[in-house]
Structure 1
Amino acid sequence: MDYQNIIFSLEAGIARVTFNRPDRLNSFNAEMHLELRDALARTRDGHARVLLLTGAGRGFCAGQDLADRNVSAGSEPVDLGYTIETYYTPLILGLRALEMPVICAVNGVAAGAGASIALACDIVLAARSASFIQAFCKLGLVPDAGGTWALPRLVGTARAMGLAMLGDKLSAEQAESWGLIWKCVDDDKLMAEADKLAVHFSTAPTRGLARTKQAIYASSGNSLEQQLELERSLQQQLGFGHDYREGVAAFMEKRSPNFKGE
């Protein structure tokens, strides 16, 4: 596929996706969704061991491009459920299903579905000037693309309600303080920090990290007994793998491990 709305590369185990509609704050149209879907498929099938997601220009992603729809006060109703079912639901589930770490480097505003996409990633870094805005309430809508699922789990019900119902801008520093994201960094250090993480994960025990993701995301719906059983099952699987034996051997031999990620 010839990408017009994103930039994609895959090298040395690192897949990189940059939203590339800077004149529209990287907001989504249908073509951008299809390109990103193709890039995620190539990430899954191309021996990548980590995905790094960011945006071009001064924004990360402003969510849905409202200009991509014919909406006005007197126009016919638009089936937003179709848009979510066709584009956003597969995107969020696809990001979560990737069996590798997914890093998001939020370089500017993340608004609406753009904020939800960032929060669907495993480790979120944000530039100090970046911000998160649940803009749906200003349009008479509910947070989508998994927003109502992620927010209360990350920051609790009270803060989730305030963010969703007021639509106030949340600074990157406050987002870190509240536990919404992993880390806030200076603007000029954002991509260096993200690249450093990507390089680290590109040589890490990928299968073990994928199972760690699985266990952590499952925990909110499991009882303690169910979670203990899941941990037993995953640990059993990983114990038969190369990376566990290599990790132990490297520790005992006081050398750096050579993980295969398998």
Structure 2
Amino acid sequence: MSEQKAAEFSEADGLAVVRLHRPALTRQVKEELLAALRGAAASTTARAVLLLGSDRAFCVGQDLAEHARVLEEAPDQALTTVREHYNPIVLALESIQVPVVVGIGGACVGAGLGFALAGDVRVAARRARFGTAFTGIGLASDSGLASRLVTALGRARAMELMLLGTVFGADRALELGLVTEVVDDDAWEERAREVAAGLAAGPTAALVAAKREVAAAAEGVRPLAELLEEEADLQNQLGVTADHAGAVRAFLDKRKPTFTGG
């Protein structure tokens, strides 16, 4: 019996579905997610895309156990994943011309929140939890998260979420405008599929044009690719700090990290 893929792409009736089966981003998960998103972006028949996780979590960001091993065994390679995986994943999402609906059944933090915000419409279960998470392990953000938070919330609120790293619930996410709709825990996937199917049955050319207009207005004068490169540079600098290595180890040991500023 073959092992279930970590992420996969399927399509039926004009709706492309990309599903993450594992919440933590190992190298395998990132590679399979990227392949699935590229498959959705390359489809000539999809009229909408649905991005899903599981009931337990949408995506919790980098698998820190794997990351800790790389930090110890090959520290110069630990942050190459930003350019190798995270930037391409966000750019693959950005390249999808048709509407992208994100279904969030549980935890959505770190890079997972960046991926979710790269979609166009977000449906969340009431149990879902959100957070930026990066400063808690001694890193700045990647996956376009800071840029999208500023666009969605403004500088002050984005700064609050980035610096404090507070975890917040679905109702708060709805209040902030980070999700479109909050539904009962047993209805999130059904509702996300309903919204995506409605868009897939809609005026595709008009929806594509509307999405392009909004994206151009939100991006302003700095291209996304430039912002992603800047994020990768920051991660390379921060990934070799003692604070980051110590925070990763504290997370794995289930204790509170102590930051020294180094």
Q: Calculate the TM-score normalised by the size of structure 1.
A: 0.77
Q: Which amino acid aligns with 1:85?
A: R
What is the Cα deviation at residue 161 of structure 1?
Answer: 1.1
Question: Which of 164, 170, 176 is the matching residue for 2:168?
Answer: 170
Map Cα deviations across residues 180-222 of structure 1 (whole Å, 9 max, x no partner).
2211111122112111112111211222211211111111355
Q: What is the CA–CA distance in structure 1 between the aligned matches of 2:219 and 2:54, rounded to whole Å?
A: 36
Pick which of 81-90 and 122-131 moved more.
81-90
Contact 1:3 1:35 in 2 (8 A): no
Q: Which amino acid aligns with 2:119?
A: C
Q: What is the CA–CA distance in structure 1 between the aligned matches of 2:74 and 2:42, rounded to whole Å?
A: 41
Q: What is the CA–CA distance in structure 2 between the aligned matches of 1:80 and 1:220, rounded to whole Å?
A: 32
Distance change in 2, residues 1:92/1:221 (3 Å): closer
Identity %: 34
Q: Which amino acid aligns with 1:109?
A: A
Q: Calculate the TM-score normalised by the size of structure 2.
A: 0.77
Contact 1:99 1:206 in 2 (8 A): no
2:35 maps to which residue?
A: 38
Map Cα deviations across residues 121-157 of structure 1 (whole Å, 9 max, x no partner).
0101111110111111111101110011011111111
- Structure 1 gaps, min length 5: 224-262
Contact 1:49 1:206 in 2 (8 A): yes
2:142 maps to which residue?
A: 144
1:20 maps to which residue?
A: 21
**Corresponding pairs, count:** 218
What is the Cα deviation at residue 45 of structure 1?
Answer: 3.2
Contact 1:99 1:207 in 2 (8 A): no
Q: What is the CA–CA distance in structure 1 between the aligned matches of 2:79 and 2:134, rounded to whole Å?
A: 14
Q: What is the CA–CA distance in structure 2 between the aligned matches of 1:207 and 1:17, rounded to whole Å?
A: 22
SS in 1 for 2:98: coil
Map Cα deviations across residues 1-32 of structure 1 (whole Å, 9 max, x no partner).
x96202432111111122112xxxx1111222
Q: What is the CA–CA distance in structure 2 between the aligned matches of 1:96 and 1:111, rounded to whole Å?
A: 19
Q: Which amino acid aligns with 1:39?
A: A
Distance change in 2, residues 1:74/1:97 (3 Å): closer
- Structure 2 gaps, min length 5: 222-262
Matched, 1:4 2:5: yes
SS in 1 for 2:103: strand
Mapping for residues 1-262 of structure 1, pairs under 5 Å: 4-21=5-22, 26-46=23-43, 47-71=45-69, 77-222=75-220
Q: Which has the higher contact order (CA 8 A, sep 6+)?
A: 2
Q: What is the CA–CA distance in structure 2 between the aligned matches of 1:139 and 1:127, rounded to whole Å?
A: 27
Contact 2:16 2:48 in 1 (8 A): yes
Distance change in 2, residues 1:121/1:69 (3 Å): same
Contact 2:123 2:188 in 1 (8 A): yes
1:245 maps to which residue?
A: none
Q: Which amino acid aligns with 2:169?
A: S
Distance change in 2, residues 1:109/1:86 (3 Å): same
What is the Cα deviation at residue 94 of structure 1?
Answer: 1.1
SS in 1 for 2:49: strand
Larger radius of gyration: 1
Contact 1:9 1:16 in 2 (8 A): yes
Contact 2:58 2:108 in 1 (8 A): yes
Q: What is the CA–CA distance in structure 1 between the aligned matches of 2:71 and 2:77, rounded to whole Å?
A: 15
SS in 1 for 2:31: helix
